[in-house]
Amino acid sequence: GENVEQHPSTLSVQEGDSAVIKCTYSDSASNYFPWYKQELGKRPQLIIDIRSNVGEKKDQRIAVTLNKTAKHFSLHITETQPEDSAVYFCAASFGPNDMRFGAGTRLTVKP
Amino acid sequence: DTGVSQDPRHKITKRGQNVTFRCDPISEHNRLYWYRQTLGQGPEFLTYFQNEAQLEKSRLLSDRFSAERPKGSFSTLEIQRTEQGDSAMYLCASSSPTGGPNTGELFFGEGSRLTVL
């Protein structure tokens, strides 16, 4: 069925290193791909998004890349900091009103 | 705080009881979504309102679940005859008239955590 696969489920990096999280999606019609960050006990919050007419988008230390042919997109965090520690969810639009989320990646940045 | 608010934040109930959650979206947002999130998983779509109209329902929304948005502002999600498998975080989100899953940001509430004993 229609879904979003996300890898890895957990990721531990040293402060200052880069972190990469990858997602694949099944619906070739998906055209909007946001990434949400959820800190423990908090609400998911949008950190960056990309649309299907763009291959890459960057916002300071965060970047997202999209390969529509292969149906995968990735989140890149450079110069990681302890406050980047959280669960990150990728998502893809399925139809006009439906957003499907990946299972999440728990990122731990060790000082 | 002018964000999405949900009430109650936590609910513990016995199996078979009914529970109701309330969501107050950002005031100018006409789109409202309910999601369910279980431990270690991403949010799963349950239902969507545009103003007071419920336009989409997931097959996850069994007949024990009902959602309303009577005046196009706040929304309620009721679960009847709760089961242990209903234990989860129920998240509400809203978006602006030009936002939403295909176009822009969903603003989430803090969620209502349900524990069914």
Facing residue for A102 by CB, picked from B4, B42, B105: B42
Q: Could you give phi then psi for residue B18, rounded to 5 degrees?
A: -100, 145
Mutating which of B26, B32, B89, B102 best tests the A interface, going by the most A Cβ atoms within 10 A?
B102
Measured between beta carbons, the chain A residues lying within 8 angstroms of B109 are: 43
CB A36 within 8 Å of CB A88:
yes
Confidence of residue B99 (pLDDT cuts 50, 70, 90): low
Confidence of residue B39 (pLDDT cuts 50, 70, 90): confident
The label of the residue with tokens 């399925």 reads A94
Beta strands in B58-87 (DSSP E): 65-68, 75-79
What pLDDT is recorded for position A52?
A: 82
The token duo for A66 is: 């999209």
What pLDDT is recorded for position B100?
A: 61
Cβ-Cβ contacts under 8 Å for B1 (sequence gap 6 or more): none
What pLDDT is recorded for position A58?
A: 95
Evaluated on CA atoms A91, B106, B75, B1, the torsion sign reads: positive
CB B47 within 8 Å of CB B57:
yes
pLDDT at B18 over 70: yes
Measured between beta carbons, the chain B residues lying within 8 angstroms of A47 are: none
pLDDT at B1 over 70: no
Measured between beta carbons, the chain A residues lying within 8 angstroms of B56 are: 97-98
What pLDDT is recorded for position B101?
A: 59
Kind of pairing, strands B10-13 and B112-116?
parallel
The label of the residue with tokens 């989860």 reads B88
Q: Is A1 exposed, middle or buried (0-12, 13-18, 19+ CB in 10 A)?
A: exposed
Tens of pLDDT, residue by residue, chain A (111 residues): 558 999 999 999 999 999 999 999 998 888 899 999 999 888 999 999 998 887 999 999 999 999 999 999 999 999 999 999 999 999 998 877 778 899 999 999 999
